[in-house]
């Protein structure tokens, strides 16, 4: 990749970033870092400030305050090497609709010193069958694939992907995920935004949740919001010959419908399960329907962004 010296310096540094559009403060003291080779996802509700942040990092927008560095460079400084080293998924429309897919990708390849192979890149985004088609004849999803091809053609060290799979059909989404995972293997740093939590779960090494222009939580997708331990739900049905009052590690909630289902929300699933299964073994009973479930990433995300909306000092 690009001949960059190995470095422990993060690929992306954002510190106290601020962006005002007139009276609207879109980004409000945002700080996070992305390590080299990492896939980092920014999650957040509509209007949270994700695109504003990405555009500042791409050098497409001026910041109002704070500090940002991409590969040690200030994207706002207009360094000509900067363009060569980052890949950007353009908002569609930045290309000539009368050119073919092949011509468009070739044109962009000409902007870079060491572009990837045009044919291979077109194939990689699943547009091989459309390489002779004019851009204006492409479907919405095919246009997004072309955007991706243009981002990849320069073999960037850092890739910005703002909602890369919006409008993709399920197969295309899987293919895009495979491609992005392939980029990880080649050492490319990726900053992506998404509203698809399954996408984030599949791709991201770490997730930052933005609300009202600042980071409200940062974690791995697995552990976001303490999801790996907190709020685990344990449930089972108790055979009729046993009584709920005998159960260990309570209190357990008994369902009112007479099915004998017992449930507990716990932050100590290991301790509770051990006590429960030991008790069951001692009484020589099987606990039908025994399940342990963690809240989904979606549950956690809704909780975090819901909380952040309250008392944050901003309007909705
Ligand atoms: N060019 C602009 N002029 C004025 N206000 C803007 C401009 N661009 C964005 N904003 C405002 O800044 C805030 C953040 O917008 P931004 O596009 O960064 O959000 P986002 O997190 O990308 O949202 P989405 O998930 O909908 O894409 C919003 O309130 C938006 O209305
Ligand atoms: Mg956006």
How many whole angstroms from 174 Cα to the centroid of ligand 2?
21
Q: Which two tokens stand for residue 204?
A: 């991201």
In a domain, 309, yes or no: no
- Residue 83 sits in the same domain as residue 205: yes
Q: How far apart are CA 90 and CA 144, in angstroms?
A: 9
Mutate to test the pocket of ligand 1, among 20, 50, 208 (most ligand atoms within 8 A of CB): 50
Q: Residues enclosing ligand 1, CB less than 6 A? A: 21, 24, 26, 44, 46-52
Q: Which atom of ligand 1 is nearest to the CA of 163?
A: 27
- Residue 27 sits in the same domain as residue 94: yes
Q: What is the pLDDT of residue 313?
A: 38
Domain of residue 283 covers 229-293
- Residue 200 sits in the same domain as residue 262: no
CATH of residue 100: 3.40.50.300
- Residue 106 sits in the same domain as residue 254: no
For residue 208, what are the β-bridge partners? Answer: 42, 218
- Residue 254 sits in the same domain as residue 272: yes
Model pLDDT for residues 159-194, shown as the tens digit of each residue:
999 988 888 888 888 888 988 888 888 889 999 999
CA angle 32, 37, 42 (to 5 degrees): 35
Model pLDDT for residues 223-245, shown as the tens digit of each residue:
887 777 667 889 999 888 888 78
- C-alpha pair distances (Å), 240 with each of 40, 236, 261, 289: 50, 12, 11, 14
How many whole angstroms from 266 Cα to the centroid of ligand 2?
36
In a domain, 236, yes or no: yes
The H-or-E segment that residue 34 falls in is: strand 24-34
- Counted domains in the chain: 2
How many whole angstroms from 164 Cα to the centroid of ligand 2?
11
How many whole angstroms from 287 Cα to the centroid of ligand 2?
48
Q: Exposed/middle/buried for 210, CB within 10 Å: 0-12, 13-18, 19+?
A: buried
In a domain, 4, yes or no: no
- Of 171, 205, 225, which closes a domain? 225
- Residue 57 sits in the same domain as residue 122: yes
Q: Which atom of ligand 1 is nearest to the CA of 44?
A: 21
- Residue 102 sits in the same domain as residue 185: yes
- Residue 216 sits in the same domain as residue 277: no
Could you list the mean pLDDT of each consecutive 10-residue stretch along the chain, which spans 316 residues?
60 97 96 96 94 93 96 86 76 76 94 90 92 93 87 90 86 87 88 92 94 93 76 87 82 83 88 92 90 84 70 39
How many whole angstroms from 256 Cα to the centroid of ligand 1?
47
- Residue 185 sits in the same domain as residue 241: no
In a domain, 6, yes or no: no
| Phi (first) and psi of residue 106, to 5 degrees | -60, -45
- Residue 147 sits in the same domain as residue 273: no
In a domain, 306, yes or no: no
Mutate to test the pocket of ligand 1, among 14, 18, 48 (most ligand atoms within 8 A of CB): 48
- Residue 79 sits in the same domain as residue 96: yes
In a domain, 142, yes or no: yes
Pairing relation of β-strands 232-237 and 206-211? unpaired
Positive or negative torsion for Cα 233, 201, 60, 144: negative
Mutate to test the pocket of ligand 1, among 26, 41, 166 (most ligand atoms within 8 A of CB): 26
Pairing relation of β-strands 206-211 and 65-70? unpaired
Q: What is the pLDDT of residue 227?
A: 72
Q: What is the pLDDT of residue 142?
A: 87
- Residue 270 sits in the same domain as residue 172: no
In a domain, 316, yes or no: no
Burial state string for 59-90 with b = 16 or more CB within 10 A and e = fewer than 16: bbbebbebebbbbebebeeeeeebbbbbbbbe
In a domain, 307, yes or no: no
Whole-prediction pTM: 0.79
- Of 204, 225, 246, which closes a domain? 225
Cβ atoms of 193 and 42 closer than 8 Å: yes
Q: What is the pLDDT of residue 44?
A: 92
């Amino acid at each position: 990749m690009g001949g960059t010296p190995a470095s422990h310096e993060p690929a992306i540094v954002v510190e106290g970033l601020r962006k005002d559009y007139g009276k609207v403060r879109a980004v409000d003291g945002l700080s996070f870092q992305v390590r080299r080779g990492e896939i980092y996802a920014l999650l957040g509700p509509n209007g949270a400030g994700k695109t504003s942040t990405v555009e500042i990092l791409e050098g497409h927008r001026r910041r109002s305050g704070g500090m940002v560095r991409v590969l040690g460079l200030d994207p706002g400084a207009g360094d000509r090497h900067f363009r060569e080293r980052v890949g950007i998924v353009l908002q569609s429309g930045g290309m000539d609709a009368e050119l073919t897919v092949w011509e468009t990708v070739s044109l962009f390849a000409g902007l870079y010193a060491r572009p990837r192979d045009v044919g291979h890149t077109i194939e990689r985004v699943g547009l091989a069958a459309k390489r002779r088609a004019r851009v204006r004849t492409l479907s919405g999803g095919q246009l997004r694939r072309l955007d991706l091809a243009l981002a990849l053609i320069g073999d960037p060290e850092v890739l910005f992907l703002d909602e890369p799979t919006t409008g993709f059909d399920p197969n295309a989404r899987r293919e895009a995920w495979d491609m992005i995972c392939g980029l990880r293997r080649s050492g490319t740093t990726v900053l992506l935004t998404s509203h698809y939590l399954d996408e984030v779960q599949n791709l991201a090494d770490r997730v930052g949740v933005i609300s009202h222009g600042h980071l409200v939580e940062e974690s791995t997708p697995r552990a976001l919001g303490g999801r790996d331990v907190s709020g685990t739900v344990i449930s089972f049905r108790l055979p009729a010959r046993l009584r709920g009052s005998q159960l260990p590690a309570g209190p357990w909630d008994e369902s009112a419908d007479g099915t004998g289902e017992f449930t507990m929300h716990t932050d100590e699933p290991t301790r509770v399960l051990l006590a429960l299964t030991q008790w069951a073994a001692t009484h020589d009973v099987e606990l039908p329907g025994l399940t342990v479930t963690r809240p989904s990433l979606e549950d956690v995300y809704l909780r975090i962004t819901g909380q952040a909306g309250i008392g944050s000092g901003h309007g909705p």
